[in-house]
Structures are given as structure tokens and as C-alpha cells.
């Protein structure tokens, strides 16, 4: 009698919590009706590159083992709570006093050691396969340099310099062209993380790190800086475009072209070259030779500005020039206090840098 | 035994003027008063740290929110982390240790009462200094500014080039000073436990709480020293032209990481070992059985203490160590799961076959076992270094360590509050309110920290003041923030319960739990001298022996 009441009380409480949780989940779901585009979710469980893939397979093994341990110990805990709870019908006597058992304790020492051994061996293999992978002759070399709060990408063999949007060729089984990145930092610590392509690796000043990716499908892969690097760490976004070999070659050719020199925007160009812009930004073929900010030679070939914080449209560009803090408060680019006319001219000039 | 002394305490404290009583608290060297000072201090900072966390969660409730600026957000997470680790959890644990250790080993005070007071006031001064940065951070440059370099303050963000003003100095000095206090407390714990035990209490007959605090003390001395050294080096960098961590002048950022984490990882165990100690006292009493496998519990903790000094670089799997380094720190980090697992099994073994009473202290301890199990398993995932390359520095890690620090450590601290509140105040707490506290906090905790794992796996890094819509993170962040509301109400129930019971609670009596360790043999609250007659013990459960003379423990140990 008492027993069933206890059970019912427990059941009621559990049901109450379940309803509460369900309610919260439902309310949250209602607030966000439309599901996001699955291609835009940088999930570690949708790998599209060899390193991310090996990590994914290892993670399945780890999840299976830990899940099993959880199920086992959790059922034990529930059993103990239900079975050995003090009941109202119990008398005041103490239960049998047990001090321990060497056999049982030996068992729950040895079994975990064996599990750890298995996990460790599986892990060691994956560490080797990712970190010590040989570099094939067709590999693309990129130097990635972290800045507060943007990415610089240099392709030394191809003579290309760009920012924030990394273009790499898609992987090809017969002729592997993985991209090997050398990671450097110009100021504080950063971390290169594109979850669907590879695990993260830090960019640390005074240190040279390496990572590699080989996207298996063309498309855009999102990521962002994963090591706190200062005020605008949150908007140090990262975009990797996996192009088909033809697209990639075409992109490289375009990037190698000198900057457009269009007399229609000579006003804007004059403003650019006579204000402090040139101290930080470079445009090939002009006196602008700064290295503190992104190279602008082919600014309009990029889909975003401010390291992915805004789409690269005329309005955003103008707003950014007028006051960078309106898009990215704390960004290191100062507002140049230009008047409306100069702003329009400068924006027009930048729009020709294709 | 010592209960014969009860009638001797007749001094009426509350008849004296308030100023005199405050003076008593300020100049006290009594371990019980200092313990309570530590605890009250920790609770005040818990509220401050909680407010900071709430501000962050409001900011992250929707993408591109403008509740606070990035500068404020960065200060909030720096202050939240520093506060919770150094000025909430450590003082609370030290407070319980300072209060309980002499009582549990049958001593009248700590070995060095004045060092005890000095340590508390150093810790207290450290916390006040940290919060003074809100006013003085910019020095003479302008308005207030708190540190914004993150609680592990990676170089070179702390260099003067990237952190002008004085906010980082406040952080450095606060930790330096409170670190001196912590080392003093550790020395005091170790000396007291090694040399002031009552007759008959050999090392093997100490309560587990004393054993675990002994181990914790050793770890504090070893771990706080590198942190203190690193803080001094950082100050030299900032003011005397040193280049230890100044990468622009050839210093090493990775050196700071090594210094910080050789402190930082043992620190996790410094915090969790005293939590183990509470659980190892509370679970047996509410299961009505002795702790299962006392010797192996001690051995496992000693193992954890040693191994914890060889795992620090698992915080650095992404800094580009070579494959051998990563492999080494993977295996040491996984090995530490073995002694930790043993402890969980032994607590289950203690409950097995008992008559478990689900009073508030026990509820929190069962919550601890459940949550610590999950924290341990996500810990194994993070120890798998390739998996860590994905999960490290993401919200998954944030969820993982909050599972340890809130789900495990804070839960046991709440349990300890309810368990020892009758001893400290002489009054019982309200059981119904205690249960409300547990269930509200339990639901809030799981809403917040269970769902926090998911955005991490979907690529959301930590320490970002806002995030992009359309990456599948919105709904999870919303749920996480909703959980905070439940936690706030839970803590509110706790505060009301403490205050109400302190003034209006029923008298508790010496031994409300029918427990077995020495602190329950004296009055509640204990007299200044703890025990009128030094007790003598023959087993680990002296009060069991007294209550069951026909079946005493010492026959079996």
C-alpha cells in the first residue's frame, strides 16, 4: 500500500518535470519556426574533409563507449535510489554494516583500465593519421595569419594575397590536392576552426603551427576564430570556399590581375590614397602598401566585409567606411570622418576593385 | 566522551553591544568564526558571479543582441570565471574545511590560528581588489574598467600593448594576494591534520573529510606556486621591461599557457576533492552505512592528486604540440578516469543495501553523483585529443566544466550547507524549502547545462558576445537562458531558507542526523574551545561505537 503510494508520488514528480521540460522545449521551438539551412550549420557531425571525418569516426566510438558506461551506471543509480530508499514501514533498526569488498573493488578498477586501454589505442592511431599525414606533391600551400580581428591568407606559390575568405580546390581521389596551412599570428592568439573540415589549431605569435584540409564537396564552409583574441573575437568569422579545379584556377587568375584603374572613380581613388587608408591597406599597383588591414586589391571578389560580419554590398561598405563601430564595435579600423560626398566617392572607388 | 562539557557553556554572546560583536569577528582567530567568515564571503561573491552570468545569458538569448557591448561582455566573462573559481568555490571549500577539520579530528583549533586569520583576510582583500577594478581599472585615464582578458588571461593579450590601463594589474594582484592566502590555508590544514588529531585517531581512522583535505592541501601548495610565479613574471613584463610572455620581443605565449595550466588543472581537483569529502561524509549518514571501501577511497584520491599534475596540457591540445605530446597527455587524462570511477562506484556501494533518507543534503549528493558521472564521461570525450580539436574552446567545453563546477561541486556545497547548518547555527533549516531549492536548481541546471553541449557540437565557440543567426544555435541558446530563471529561483529559496532558519529555525540539538563523526558530539553551535575534554577514539565512527556498544566498528577495522 505504502509502497505503491511512494511509487505514484515519484511518478507524479517525474511526470511534472517531463511536462515542464516539454513545455519549455515547445515554447522555444515556437519562437523559431523555420529550421535553418542545414548546409549553413557548422556541425562537427557532418564532416566533409579527411581530418574531420577521422575525428567523426573516432567520436562515434567514444560516444558509444561513454554512452554504454552512462546507461550502466545510471541504471545502477536509479536501482539503488528506488530499491534502497527508506520506507515508512521500515523499523528504526540500522541496515547491515558493510565496510567494503576487495573482489568487487578490484573488478571496478580493472575493467575501467581495460576500457581506457582500448580508447587510448584507437585515439593514438587517429592522432598519428591526422598530425603526421604526408604532404602530397600536389598540395596547395597557404599561409594563414591571424590579426585582430580578421584573417590574412597568402598563397606564396601562386602569388595571391587575400583576406577572410579562403578559396581551396575540392578534393579529388585520383589527384589529391589538399590544402596545407601554415598558421601564424600578427598580434594575439587566434584559432582556425572550420568544424566540417578539420579540428581547430591555434595561431600563436612567435610560433609556427600547421593544419590541413581537403574538402570532399564543393561549397561554402563556415567557421570562426575559436581562441579569445580581444574585443571583437565574436566577429572574426571565417569562410572557406571549396571550388572545383576549374573555378579555383579561374579565381587564382583573377586574383593575380593588378587592381582596376578606372578614371571614372579618380576622385575616390585620390581620397583613398591621401587619407590614412593606405597606412593599413594595400592595393597592388598603387602607393597603398599597408599590411595592418586586409589587402583590398580584389575587395569586390569577396562576398563579405569586416571578416564576415556583413555582406559586401554598397550600403554596408559605405556604413563601414563611415563608422566601422556600427557594424563591428571595437574593430581596429578608425572612422575617417569623411563628409558625405567623399564617402560616396570612396565607396564608388572601392566598388571598382573587382 | 565530550558531551559532558555541554553544561559548561553559559556565556551569553548576544547580550553585548553590536560594535563589540563585530570587533570580535574582525579580530577573531577562532577556526569556527573564520570558517563562517569564509562561507559568508563566498556567498556574497556567489551572488556577484551569478549576476555576471545572468548578464551574459541575457545578451546571448537571441543572435545579434544589443543588451551589452562587446567590451562589457568580455569583462563579464572574465570577472565571472575569476570570481567563481577564486572567490566563491575556493573560499566556500576552505570555509567548510576551516570550520570542520578541527571538530572532526577532536582538536580545539587549527595548528596556526593567527595564520588562519591572516589567510582569510588575504583572500578577502584579493576579492575586494579585483572588484575595485570596476572603479580603478583605467587608473587616471578615465572611467571604470574591469579586466577583460579571460580568466586564464592568455599571453600576449595581457601585454601592455593589448591591455593598457590597470585592469590586468588588478587581476594579477588579486590572484597573487589571494594565492598567498590559499597557500597559508593549505599549510594550516596539513599541519593541523598531521599533528593535532585526538588520541586514538591514527591516519587510517581519520574521517574521509580530513583525509581528502590533507590531499587537497598538498595540491594547493604545489599548484598555487606556479600561478603565483607566473603572476610575478607577468607584472615584471608589464612594468619592469621583462619579456617572459611578450611575444613582440621574443617571449613565449605558450610558456604562459604551461604555467597557467600546471596550476589550472590541479586546481580543478583542488576544488573537487573537498566536494568528494562532503559526499563521503553525507552519503554514509543518510544511507545508514559506513563508507564502502575506505582504504581504496583514500588511495584513489591520492592517485588523483598525483596524476592531476601530469594532465595539464590537455587544455592545450590545439596549440600545436607534436603527435607524441598529444598522445602522452591523452593517456594521462584518460587514466585519471579510473580512480575517479572507483569513487563513484564506492558511493553507489555505500548506498547499496542501505536505508536511504532523502533529506535535502542527500538529494544534493545524489544529484552530485548523477552529474559527476556525466561530467566524467564528457571529460573522457575531451581527453580524446582529436575529439578535443573539435570540442575544445567551444560551448561543449563550457558545458563540461560547468557540469563539474556547478553540477558536482556547487551541488555538494549546497548539500554541505544543509548538512552542517544545524551544527553551525544551532537551528534546523526548513526541509520543504530545502527540497524546493533542490528541485528548482536541478531543473534549472539541466535546462542550462545539458542544452549548452549542443551549440558547441554545432560549432559555437566560447567567449563570443554575439553570434550569427542561421547556424542552428538560436534555439539552444534560448533554452540555456530559460534555465537560468529556474536557477535564480532555486538560489532564492536557499537564501530565504538560510536567513529564516537562522532567526526562526527550530533548535537542532547536538546530533540531528544521528551521525557518527566527532563534530556531532559537541553542542550546536560548538563552544569556543570545541571540546571540554579531548575525545579519544577507537574507530572511524566514534559516535557509532558509543551508540552501539554491542557492535562497535573497532572490532572490524
| pLDDT number for residue A176 | 83
Q: Which of B390, B392, B469, B554 to mutate to test the interface with A (most CBs of A within 10 A)?
A: B390
The alpha carbon of residue B426 is apart from the nearest alpha carbon of chain A, in Å, by: 25
State mean pLDDT over B42-61.
Answer: 96
Look up the CATH superfamily of A37-83+105-248: Cupredoxins -  blue copper proteins (2.60.40.420)
Q: Please answer whether residues A221 and A240 qualify as being in contact, where contact means their C-beta atoms are separated by less than 8 angstroms.
A: yes
Angle at A11 between CA A9 and CA A14, to 5 degrees: 110
Q: Where are the domains of chain A?
A: 37-83+105-248, 263-351
Chain A partners of B320 at a C-beta cutoff of 8 Å? Answer: 183, 201-202, 204, 207, 209-210
Q: Is the dihedral of CA B83, B87, B93, B96 positive or negative?
A: negative
d(CA B515, CA B517): 6
β pairing state of A165-169 and A237-243? parallel
State mean pLDDT over B494-522.
Answer: 94
The alpha carbon of residue B117 is apart from the nearest alpha carbon of chain A, in Å, by: 38
Decide if A231 touches B, using CB distance below 8 A.
Answer: yes
pLDDT top residue among B164 and B343: B343
Residue A7 CA, distance from chain mean position: 47
Prediction ipTM score: 0.91
| pLDDT number for residue B1 | 45
The kind and range of the H/E element at A219 are strand A219-224
End-to-end Cα distance, chain A: 82
Which of B169, B151, B320, B162 minimizes the C-alpha distance to B248? Answer: B162
Rg (CA), chain B: 23
φ, ψ of residue B302 to 5 degrees: the values are -60, -40
User: Is B302 a residue whose pLDDT tops 50?
Assistant: yes
Which of B151, B142, B143, B136 minimizes the C-alpha distance to B76? Answer: B151
Across chain B, mean pLDDT equals 93
Cβ distance of A73 and B443 shorter than 8 Å: no
d(CA B408, CA A319): 48
Residues sharing a CB contact under 8 Å with residue A1, sequence separation 6 or more, in sequence order: none
State chain A's maximal CA–CA distance in angstroms: 99
Chain B partners of A324 at a C-beta cutoff of 8 Å? Answer: none
Cβ distance of A330 and B390 shorter than 8 Å: no
φ, ψ of residue A345 to 5 degrees: the values are -65, -45
Instruction: Give the predicted TM-score (pTM) of the model.
Output: 0.93
pLDDT band at A59 (very low <50, low <70, confident <90, very high): very high
Chain A partners of B366 at a C-beta cutoff of 8 Å? Answer: 77, 81
pLDDT in tens, B386-441: 999 999 999 999 999 999 999 999 999 999 999 999 999 999 999 999 999 999 99
Q: Is the dihedral of CA B528, B534, B540, B543 positive or negative?
A: negative
In sequence order, what are the beta bridge partners of A203?
A: A190
What number of CA atoms fall less than 13 Å from residue B284's CA on the CB side? 26
pLDDT in tens, B100-150: 999 999 999 999 999 999 999 999 999 999 999 988 766 555 545 889 999
Mark residue A52 as left, alpha or beta (left: phi above 0; alpha: psi -120 to 50; beta: remaining).
Answer: alpha
d(CA B202, CA B105): 10
d(CA B125, CA A326): 40
Q: Which of B155, B296, B386, B398 to mutate to test the interface with A (most CBs of A within 10 A)?
A: B386
Across chain A, mean pLDDT equals 91
d(CA A74, CA B373): 8
Residue with cell 575493467: A111
Residues sharing a CB contact under 8 Å with residue A7, sequence separation 6 or more, in sequence order: none
State mean pLDDT over B459-467.
Answer: 96
**What is chain B's length?**
557
Residue B416 CA, distance from chain mean position: 12
State mean pLDDT over B187-210.
Answer: 96
Chain A partners of B482 at a C-beta cutoff of 8 Å? Answer: 24, 28
The alpha carbon of residue B194 is apart from the nearest alpha carbon of chain A, in Å, by: 25
- Chains A and B form CB pairs within 8 A to the count of 300
β pairing state of A198-203 and A160-163? unpaired
Decide if A103 touches B, using CB distance below 8 A.
Answer: no
End-to-end Cα distance, chain B: 21
| pLDDT number for residue B468 | 94
Cell of B73: 561582455
Q: Please answer whether residues B88 and B49 qualify as being in contact, where contact means their C-beta atoms are separated by less than 8 angstroms.
A: yes
pLDDT in tens, A107-133: 999 999 999 999 999 999 999 999 999
**What is chain A's length?**
354
- B:295-334 residues touching chain A, CB 8 A cutoff: 295-296, 318-320, 322-323, 326-327, 330-331, 334
- B:472-501 residues touching chain A, CB 8 A cutoff: 472, 474-475, 478-479, 482
In our burial notation (b when 16+ CB lie closer than 10 A, e otherwise), range A41-55 reads: bbbbeebbbbbbbbb
User: Is B551 a residue whose pLDDT tops 90?
Assistant: no
Look up the CATH superfamily of A263-351: Cupredoxins -  blue copper proteins (2.60.40.420)
Angle at B78 between CA A334 and CA A326, to 5 degrees: 25
Q: Please answer whether residues B144 and B135 qualify as being in contact, where contact means their C-beta atoms are separated by less than 8 angstroms.
A: yes
Q: Where are the domains of chain B?
A: 2-555
Decide if A52 touches B, using CB distance below 8 A.
Answer: yes
Which three-class secondary structure state does DSSP give residue A152? strand
Decide if B351 touches A, using CB distance below 8 A.
Answer: yes
Cβ distance of A234 and B465 shorter than 8 Å: yes
Residue B247 CA, distance from chain mean position: 34
pLDDT band at A279 (very low <50, low <70, confident <90, very high): very high
Cβ distance of A21 and B447 shorter than 8 Å: yes
Q: Please answer whether residues B552 and B544 qualify as being in contact, where contact means their C-beta atoms are separated by less than 8 angstroms.
A: yes
| pLDDT number for residue A3 | 52
Rg (CA), chain A: 29
Residue B99 Cα distances to A35, B1, B103, B106, B195, angstroms: 54, 21, 7, 12, 17
Whether residue A290 has a cis bond before it, omega within 30° of 0: no
* Fold agreement (A37-83+105-248, A263-351): yes
Angle at B119 between CA B272 and CA B27, to 5 degrees: 130
d(CA B198, CA B107): 6
Residue A268 burial (CB count, 10 A): 21
For B122-139, what is the HEC assignment? HHHHHHHHHHHHHHHCCC
Cβ distance of B351 and A29 shorter than 8 Å: no
pLDDT in tens, B249-278: 999 999 999 999 999 999 999 999 999 999
Class of residue A73 by CB neighbours under 10 A (exposed 0-12, middle 13-18, buried 19+):
buried
Percentage of residues of chain B with pLDDT beyond 70: 96
| pLDDT number for residue B503 | 93
pLDDT in tens, A26-43: 666 665 555 667 778 999
Cell of B272: 573537487
Q: Please answer whether residues B281 and B517 qualify as being in contact, where contact means their C-beta atoms are separated by less than 8 angstroms.
A: yes
Cβ distance of A17 and B156 shorter than 8 Å: no
| pLDDT number for residue B143 | 47
Sheet of A237-243: strand order equals A165-169, A237-243, A219-224
d(CA A135, CA B209): 55
Nearest CA in chain B to A66: B377
Chain A partners of B355 at a C-beta cutoff of 8 Å? Answer: 84-86, 90, 94-95
> Per CATH, the architecture of B2-555 is what?
Up-down Bundle (1.20)
Chain A partners of B548 at a C-beta cutoff of 8 Å? Answer: 94
The alpha carbon of residue B163 is apart from the nearest alpha carbon of chain A, in Å, by: 9
Decide if A209 touches B, using CB distance below 8 A.
Answer: yes
Q: Please answer whether residues A148 and A225 qualify as being in contact, where contact means their C-beta atoms are separated by less than 8 angstroms.
A: no
Nearest CA in chain A to B458: A43
Which of B513, B345, B494 minimizes the C-alpha distance to A111? Answer: B345
DSSP string, B81-112: HHIIIIIIIHHHHHHHHHHHHHHHTT-SS-S-
| pLDDT number for residue B8 | 46
| pLDDT number for residue B14 | 60
- A:121-140 residues touching chain B, CB 8 A cutoff: 123-124, 126-128, 130-132
| pLDDT number for residue B6 | 47
φ, ψ of residue B392 to 5 degrees: the values are -60, 145
Which of B378, B389, B380 minimizes the C-alpha distance to B453? Answer: B378
DSSP string, B504-539: HPPB--S-TT---SGGGGS-SSPPTTS-SS----SS
pLDDT in tens, A174-228: 778 899 999 999 999 999 999 999 999 999 999 999 999 999 999 999 999 999 9
pLDDT in tens, B304-333: 999 999 999 999 999 999 999 999 999 999
Which of B86, B396, B110 minimizes the C-alpha distance to B270? Answer: B86
Angle at A215 between CA A210 and CA A219, to 5 degrees: 125
Residue B140 burial (CB count, 10 A): 7
Q: Please answer whether residues A183 and A211 qualify as being in contact, where contact means their C-beta atoms are separated by less than 8 angstroms.
A: yes
Residue with cell 540500522: A94
Residues sharing a CB contact under 8 Å with residue A118, sequence separation 6 or more, in sequence order: A65
| pLDDT number for residue B141 | 58
β pairing state of A179-185 and A140-147? parallel
Class of residue B242 by CB neighbours under 10 A (exposed 0-12, middle 13-18, buried 19+):
middle
Chain A partners of B349 at a C-beta cutoff of 8 Å? Answer: 98, 100-101, 104
Class of residue B507 by CB neighbours under 10 A (exposed 0-12, middle 13-18, buried 19+):
exposed
Sheet of A209-213: strand order equals A160-163, A150-155, A140-147, A179-185, A209-213
d(CA B95, CA A63): 38
Q: Please answer whether residues B188 and B112 qualify as being in contact, where contact means their C-beta atoms are separated by less than 8 angstroms.
A: yes
Cβ distance of B355 and A128 shorter than 8 Å: no
Nearest CA in chain A to B322: A131
Amino acid at each position: 500500500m505504502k509502497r505503491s503510494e511512494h511509487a505514484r508520488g515519484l511518478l507524479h514528480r517525474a511526470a511534472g518535470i517531463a511536462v515542464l521540460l516539454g513545455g519549455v522545449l515547445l515554447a522555444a521551438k515556437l519562437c523559431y519556426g523555420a529550421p535553418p539551412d542545414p548546409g549553413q550549420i557548422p556541425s562537427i557531425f557532418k564532416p566533409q574533409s579527411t581530418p574531420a571525418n577521422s575525428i567523426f569516426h573516432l567520436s562515434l566510438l567514444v560516444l558509444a563507449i561513454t554512452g554504454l558506461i552512462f546507461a550502466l551506471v545510471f541504471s545502477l543509480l536509479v536501482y539503488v535510489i528506488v530499491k534502497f530508499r527508506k520506507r515508512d514501514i521500515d523499523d528504526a533498526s540500522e541496515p547491515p554494516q558493510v565496510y567494503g569488498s576487495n573482489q568487487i573493488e578490484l573488478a571496478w578498477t580493472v575493467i575501467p583500465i581495460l576500457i581506457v586501454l582500448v580508447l587510448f589505442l584507437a585515439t593514438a592511431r587517429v592522432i598519428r593519421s591526422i598530425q603526421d599525414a604526408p604532404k602530397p606533391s600536389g598540395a596547395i600551400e597557404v599561409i594563414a595569419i591571424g590579426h585582430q580581428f580578421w584573417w590574412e591568407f597568402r598563397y606564396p606559390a601562386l602569388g595571391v594575397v587575400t583576406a577572410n575568405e579562403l578559396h581551396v580546390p575540392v578534393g579529388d581521389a585520383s589527384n589529391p590536392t589538399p590544402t596545407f596551412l601554415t598558421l601564424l599570428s600578427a598580434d594575439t592568439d587566434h584559432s582556425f576552426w572550420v568544424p566540417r573540415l578539420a579540428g581547430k589549431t591555434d595561431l600563436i605569435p612567435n610560433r609556427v603551427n600547421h593544419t590541413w584540409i581537403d574538402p570532399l564537396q564543393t561549397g561554402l564552409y563556415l567557421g570562426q576564430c575559436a581562441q579569445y583574441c580581444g574585443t571583437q573575437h565574436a566577429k572574426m568569422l571565417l569562410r572557406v570556399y571549396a571550388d572545383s579545379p576549374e573555378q579555383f584556377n579561374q579565381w587564382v587568375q583573377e586574383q593575380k590581375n593588378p587592381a582596376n584603374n578606372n578614371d571614372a572613380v579618380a576622385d575616390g581613388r585620390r581620397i583613398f590614397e591621401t587619407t590614412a587608408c593606405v597606412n593599413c591597406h594595400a592595393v597592388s599597383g598603387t602607393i597603398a602598401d599597408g599590411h595592418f588591414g586586409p589587402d583590398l586589391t580584389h575587395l569586390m571578389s569577396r562576398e563579405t566585409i569586416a571578416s564576415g560580419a556583413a555582406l559586401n554590398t554598397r550600403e554596408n561598405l559605405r556604413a563601414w567606411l563611415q563608422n566601422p563601430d556600427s557594424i563591428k564595435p571595437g574593430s581596429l579600423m578608425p572612422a575617417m570622418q569623411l563628409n558625405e560626398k567623399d564617402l560616396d566617392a570612396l565607396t564608388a572607388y572601392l566598388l571598382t576593385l573587382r | 566522551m565530550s558531551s559532558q562539557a555541554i553544561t559548561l557553556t553559559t556565556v551569553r554572546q548576544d547580550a553585548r553591544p553590536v560594535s563589540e560583536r563585530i570587533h570580535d569577528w574582525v579580530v577573531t582567530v577562532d577556526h569556527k568564526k573564520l570558517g563562517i567568515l569564509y562561507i559568508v564571503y563566498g556567498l556574497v561573491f556567489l551572488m556577484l558571479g551569478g549576476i555576471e552570468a545572468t548578464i551574459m545569458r541575457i545578451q546571448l538569448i537571441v543572435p545579434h543582441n544589443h543588451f551589452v557591448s562587446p567590451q562589457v561582455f568580455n569583462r563579464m566573462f572574465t570577472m565571472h570565471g575569476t570570481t567563481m573559481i577564486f572567490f566563491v568555490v575556493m573560499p566556500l571549500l576552505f570555509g567548510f574545511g576551516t570550520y570542520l577539520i578541527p571538530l572532526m579530528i577532536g582538536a580545539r583549533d587549527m595548528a596556526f590560528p593567527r595564520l588562519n586569520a591572516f589567510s582569510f583576510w588575504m583572500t578577502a582583500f584579493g576579492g575586494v581588489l579585483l572588484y575595485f577594478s570596476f572603479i580603478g581599472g583605467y587608473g587616471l585615464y578615465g572611467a571604470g574598467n574591469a579586466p577583460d582578458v579571460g580568466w586564464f588571461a592568455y599571453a600576449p593579450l595581457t601585454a601592455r600593448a593589448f591591455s593598457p590601463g590597470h585592469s590586468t594589474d588588478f587581476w594579477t594582484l588579486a590572484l597573487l594576494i589571494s594565492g598567498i592566502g590559499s597557500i597559508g590555508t593549505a599549510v594550516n590544514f596539513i599541519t593541523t591534520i598531521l599533528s593535532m588529531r585526538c588520541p586514538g585517531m591514527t591516519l587510517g581512522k581519520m574521517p574521509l573529510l580530513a583525509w581528502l583535505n590533507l590531499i587537497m592541501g598538498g595540491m594547493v601548495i604545489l599548484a598555487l606556486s606556479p600561478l603565483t610565479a607566473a603572476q610575478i613574471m607577468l607584472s615584471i613584463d608589464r612594468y619592469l621591461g621583462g619579456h617572459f610572455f611578450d611575444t613582440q620581443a621574443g617571449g613565449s605565449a605558450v610558456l604562459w599557457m604551461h604555467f597557467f595550466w600546471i596550476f589550472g588543472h590541479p586546481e580543478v581537483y583542488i576544488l573537487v576533492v573537498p566536494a568528494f569529502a562532503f559526499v563521503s561524509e553525507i552519503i554514509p549518514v543518510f544511507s545508514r552505512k559506513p563508507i564502502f571501501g575506505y582504504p581504496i577511497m583514500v588511495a584513489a584520491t591520492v592517485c588523483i592528486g598525483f596524476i592531476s599534475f601530469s594532465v595539464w596540457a590537455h587544455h592545450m591540445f590545439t596549440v600545436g604540440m607534436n603527435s607524441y605530446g598529444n598522445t602522452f597527455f591523452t593517456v594521462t587524462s584518460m587514466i585519471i578516469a579510473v580512480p575517479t570511477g572507483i569513487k563513484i562506484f564506492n558511493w553507489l556501494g555505500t548506498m547499496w543495501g542501505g536505508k536511504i533518507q532523502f533529506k535535502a543534503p542527500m538529494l544534493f549528493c545524489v544529484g552530485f553523483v548523477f552529474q559527476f558521472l556525466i561530467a566524467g564521461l564528457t571529460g573522457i570525450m575531451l581527453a580524446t585529443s582529436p575529439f578535443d580539436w573539435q570540442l575544445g574552446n567551444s560551448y561543449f567545453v563550457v558545458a563540461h566544466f560547468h557540469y563539474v563546477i556547478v553540477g558536482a561541486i556547487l551541488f555538494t556545497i549546497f548539500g554541505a550547507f544543509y548538512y552542517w547548518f544545524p551544527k553551525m547555527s544551532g537551528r534546523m533549516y526548513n526541509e520543504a524549502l530545502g527540497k524546493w531549492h533542490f528541485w528548482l536548481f536541478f531543473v534549472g541546471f539541466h535546462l542550462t547545462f545539458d542544452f549548452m553541449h549542443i551549440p558547441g557540437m554545432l560549432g559555437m565557440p566560447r567567449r563570443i558576445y554575439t553570434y550569427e543567426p542561421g547556424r542552428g544555435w538560436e534555439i539552444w541558446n534560448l533554452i540555456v537562458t530559460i534555465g537560468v530563471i529556474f536557477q535564480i529561483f532555486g538560489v532564492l529559496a536557499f537564501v530565504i531558507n538560510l536567513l529564516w532558519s537562522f532567526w526562526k529555525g527550530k533548535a537542532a540539538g547536538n546530533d540531528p542526523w544521528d551521525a557518527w563523526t566527532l563534530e556531532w558530539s559537541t553542542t550546536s553551535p560548538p563552544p569556543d574551545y570545541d571540546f571540554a575534554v579531548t575525545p579519544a577514539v577507537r574507530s572511524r565512527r566514534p559516535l557509532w561505537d558509543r551508540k552501539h556498544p554491542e557492535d562497535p566498528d573497532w572490532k572490524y577495522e
